[in-house]
Amino acid sequence: MGASMRYLSQRYTAPNRTAAAVLTDIGTEELAHLEIVATIVHQLTRCLTLEEIEASGFAPYYADHTVGIFPQSAGGFPFSASQIQSTGDPIADLYEDMAAEQKARLTYDNILRLVKDPEVADPIRFLRAREIVHFQRFGEALTSVRDQLDSKNFYAFNPSFDAPVQCDRS
Is residue 65, in this structure, part of any structural domain at all?
yes
Q: What is the pLDDT of residues 67-112, one digit of tens each?
A: 888 888 778 788 888 778 888 889 999 999 999 999 999 999 999 9
Looking at the structure of the chain, the number of domains it has is 1
- Flag whether 70 is in a domain: yes
Q: Answer yes or no: is 158 within a domain.
A: no
In a domain, 170, yes or no: no
Dmax (CA) of the chain: 66
In whole angstroms, how far apart are CA 25 and each of 7, 36, 64, 126, 133?
A: 9, 17, 34, 17, 12
Return the CATH number at 91. Answer: 1.20.1260.10
Residue 159 within a domain = no
Asked whether the whole model's pTM tops 0.75, one would answer yes
Provide φ and ψ at 72, rounded to 5°: -155, 165
Residue 166 lies in a domain: no
pLDDT 10s digits, 128-154: 999 999 999 999 999 999 888 766 555
The pLDDT, as a whole number, for residue 51 is: 95
What's residue 153's pLDDT? 57
**Residue 120 belongs to a domain:** yes
Give me the torsion for CA of 33, 37, 40, 43, rounded to 10°.
-110
- Domain assignment present for 161: no
Residue 86: is it exposed, middle or buried by C-beta count within 10 angstroms (0-12/13-18/19+)?
middle
What pLDDT is recorded for position 68? 87
- pLDDT one-digit tens code per residue, 24-79: 999 999 999 999 999 999 999 999 999 999 998 889 889 998 888 888 877 878 88
Segments forming the whole domain that contains residue 36: 2-74+85-150
Q: How many CB atoms lie within 10 A of CB 113?
A: 8
Looking at residue 79, what is its pLDDT?
Answer: 82
Average pLDDT score over the chain: 88
Closest CA to 26 of 136, 114, 154, 121: 136
pLDDT, residue 160, reads: 56
